[in-house]
Structure 1
């Protein structure tokens, strides 16, 4: 695998070409009237990293690195704020060391050392966090902080083809996981946008959502059992298809973000790889009209694999629309039977709600044909979706404020939330001098009782003040989300960024119970301090 970029998304070899960057710069000139100059990141050798405060003991020396490259690459996640600071060479909280345990015993040894020495241990999977979840920003109460990189624990250890499940180490990246499952004809069917650069353990720790819009798409639904190394000992849950035996221990660690221990293995539920596909795209005069059709589709019981509604501007940006109509992408798949009948019923349903399908929503073992004279909208969207993080990095290099935020809300509150958030963001953009900014929205997931709206902002930045501009907009958006009945995050996790609003969303008694659980599992309070709860 090519070496990861220390400062931005993915790999340097996967980044946009100079020609593509110039094309984006020209679009910015026409749309915003800005003459953007591309900022380049400093070389690692140019970074002024503070000297490490702690050194791993001799027993851990073989798995430890204190190189500038490793410390820089583990200093932050991949959010807008992270990329801006990296381009400035501003690494506020680099780890003092990076440790790469090769076994559970070495994970336990790392936690033992950290607990005894008062060193914060921040678990690290693929490093794709956009909420500050992997940044060692742990305050002054610790002798130091280390990044615990699980990348060496990357194997599928066992496949139970009878039960369609697998025991998998937590550090495996998405592509490697699927490659190891493929010979058995099975798949986890969990494809977040970060799939190429995120790990199973990271998905479990952050309650990640996959690409598929309905059905078991959250990692919550795909976890059968867990092994977790905590400072107080190793915990293993029982493999079961379901259980009514008290509160689920798995649920305690799903979404724990490394604050209770290090997830080292998971038994995950698999399914046969799909062979039959059908579906298509359709257009609506506006986003809210499309949302009403999506609600009917979500409540129909058809359970499409893909049901992604994209507003007119975002559809145009991603090459699947003309900027006037909202676009809905719908897809069905199965390993067992043709799904043409499901697609036909979905097409009929969206027509009933004012949608105009493009082409015929039929299929077999291959995706449906594109509408005459048009490219396949689903394929175009998929390509744009996977390239989006690289495009984001270029926009930031060109001085733009470019970031996303997401939520989920019940259908009865959706239109109010959409209006409230849009108004709040527009007001914040005026406040920070970026009134020409563009805000778009799409649905990433849909449920019978509500959608998961995902907002994207692109606005001209003010040189040197981009972080302050975004912080103002982000705060306004989160306040509006809470006021309108949404969640502070649907699948990006809490991390350190969402803590102020998460603390207000959760019941106070639950926060106290979570503190008590952490005190039991992590008595020295060294596991990723600062996420989810503070020391009482």
Structure 2
């Protein structure tokens, strides 16, 4: 990727989120840490690949595949983990775990098939890799059952191969990053309209493999909604589903691979449903003195047919941390967009529903129109960098998301605040901050997203994070809330996923794994053993 201001290639951070030049400097880290009692007096140094112990590769590919792979230490380090707090902290503490022996960048589908064939014959694990933005341990190898580990980086396969303007669809290779995809669709007046927080640093294949959720709060927002057909390479063979607007012909073949996280096959391309680019947009923010009434407002909007693009409720702590509210209010951010007609009337109706539940528009509070929305958007994009800065100060930052029906939602949110907050206090000896926001809303429920901030125990920050994850998993299970709404299962959510899925389905999933990946080389430990 290139920085348009300099026309020079821009470097990704190998150990943390996003661009290396966007990471907080030492002074900014220190100022951030001062806001959370119990953090370190000075930041941990930025880790260097040169300080890692990089073993010689345990496996080698034949000369016919050598042009596809590298054993460069920086590439191996960058592909060793995702971007969860747990990953960032391990890198800062020099505990990156087992690095992949080789990183492969296939240029075509046959390369993928050849690499899988080699791995099966030589006992090497293959970890499919897109943008590397996983926050659930989905792109690392944990274990010692395989002779070697190959990180299969799909970003060399990043073209839009066909555009069907009549059907509003395109055939797209899996390795394309979000911004590049939108750039290539723009001349056609089309958009995929899938914008997860990781949009800048994640790929179509990664979205498909993890059943990613986009930014939009209602309507089509999950990648499932946009998938017309998939093409998948597995050790057992290559398959492609038919392009159809809908089908009732048995279980959907696409559903087997959507969310399979590279454990059943490698998604190489997909036909995706597209939309005309929006031309009309408007937004507003409303403050609520009572979070319970704000939940009622969101439920009313979700059950209307207004379909806001954004319907994001921030509790008082989240609103304050985002710079959206300074008086302890919860804040509801509403947004509408359309390619075909003005949306001002829909916004006015949604604001009216929120007013009925005690919402007060920002304009009536003497705040500049759009200021709260702009502040939230800026904080949303900046938050992962702030998390890395807090990690350098020895702080613990756990984020997790879930979904539950409306009847369970208030008790779930209260239980997370109380139990996870208490667990963090016990683990660190310092009070913790537990904030909540709703990211996606449905007529029958919503997806709360929690942020837990606490001082760590120096040298044991990952252990504290693991403890908090275990407590959070237990709370979610007890309230029958999903272990993940859009972050995927990976390895970190396996305990919760194992308890959530029905056992007959687990039997079928294991059988599919045996049939499609008989040598057990694809992303071992993800979804199933």
What TM-score comes out, normalization by structure 1 length?
A: 0.95
Deviation at 1:3, TM superposition (A): 1.9
Contact 2:311-2:441 at 8 Å conserved across structures: yes
How many pairs align? 521
Give secondary structure in 2 for the equivalent of 1:151: helix
1:27 corresponds to which of 18, 21, 35: 35
Give secondary structure in 2 for the equivalent of 1:329: strand
Contact 1:313-1:323 at 8 Å conserved across structures: no
1:379 corresponds to which of 374, 377, 401: 374
Give secondary structure in 2 for the equivalent of 1:330: strand
Where does residue 322 of structure 1 map in the other structure?
326
Deviation at 1:51, TM superposition (A): 2.3
Give secondary structure in 1 for the equivalent of 2:283: strand
Where does residue 91 of structure 2 map in the other structure?
86
- Residues in 2 aligned to 1:87 and 1:35: alpha-carbon distance in whole angstroms: 13
- Structure 2 segments unaligned to the other structure (5+ residues): 2-9
Where does residue 45 of structure 1 map in the other structure?
50
Larger mean CA deviation between 168-177 and 38-47 belongs to 38-47
Matched, 1:229 2:224: no
Larger mean CA deviation between 323-332 and 34-43 belongs to 34-43
Contact 2:285-2:370 at 8 Å conserved across structures: no
Quickly say closer, same or farther: Cα 1:122–1:221, change in 2 above 3 A: same
Where does residue 525 of structure 2 map in the other structure?
530
Where does residue 345 of structure 1 map in the other structure?
349
- Residues in 2 aligned to 1:373 and 1:71: alpha-carbon distance in whole angstroms: 48
Matched, 1:72 2:77: yes
Matched, 1:205 2:213: no
- Residues in 1 aligned to 2:502 and 2:289: alpha-carbon distance in whole angstroms: 40
Please give the residue correspondences for 1:129-148 in structure 2 after superposition, counting only pairs within 5 Å: 129-137=134-142, 139-148=143-152
Where does residue 471 of structure 2 map in the other structure?
476
Deviation at 1:19, TM superposition (A): 5.0
Deviation at 1:34, TM superposition (A): 4.4
- Residues in 1 aligned to 2:39 and 2:49: alpha-carbon distance in whole angstroms: 30
Please give the residue correspondences for 1:113-262 in structure 2 after superposition, counting only pairs within 5 Å: 113-137=118-142, 139-262=143-266
Matched, 1:303 2:323: no
- Residues in 2 aligned to 1:387 and 1:297: alpha-carbon distance in whole angstroms: 28
- Residues in 2 aligned to 1:46 and 1:426: alpha-carbon distance in whole angstroms: 35
Where does residue 7 of structure 2 map in the other structure?
none
Contact 2:421-2:452 at 8 Å conserved across structures: no
Deviation at 1:18, TM superposition (A): 4.8
What TM-score comes out, normalization by structure 2 length?
A: 0.96
- Residues in 2 aligned to 1:143 and 1:208: alpha-carbon distance in whole angstroms: 32
- Residues in 1 aligned to 2:41 and 2:244: alpha-carbon distance in whole angstroms: 56
Give secondary structure in 2 for the equivalent of 1:412: coil
Quickly say closer, same or farther: Cα 1:182–1:423, change in 2 above 3 A: same
- Structure 1 segments unaligned to the other structure (5+ residues): 361-369
Deviation at 1:27, TM superposition (A): 2.8
Deviation at 1:58, TM superposition (A): 1.0
Where does residue 423 of structure 1 map in the other structure?
418
Give secondary structure in 1 for the equivalent of 2:499: helix
Deviation at 1:311, TM superposition (A): 0.7
Give secondary structure in 1 for the equivalent of 2:464: helix
Q: CA RMSD in A?
A: 1.4
Matched, 1:499 2:494: yes
Give secondary structure in 2 for the equivalent of 1:191: coil
- Residues in 2 aligned to 1:497 and 1:20: alpha-carbon distance in whole angstroms: 30
- Residues in 1 aligned to 2:112 and 2:398: alpha-carbon distance in whole angstroms: 34
Give secondary structure in 1 for the equivalent of 2:11: coil
Larger mean CA deviation between 316-325 and 10-19 belongs to 10-19
Residue deviations 1:17-70, cap 9 Å, x none? 455334323433xxx264531111332112112221111111110010001001
Contact 1:420-1:484 at 8 Å conserved across structures: no
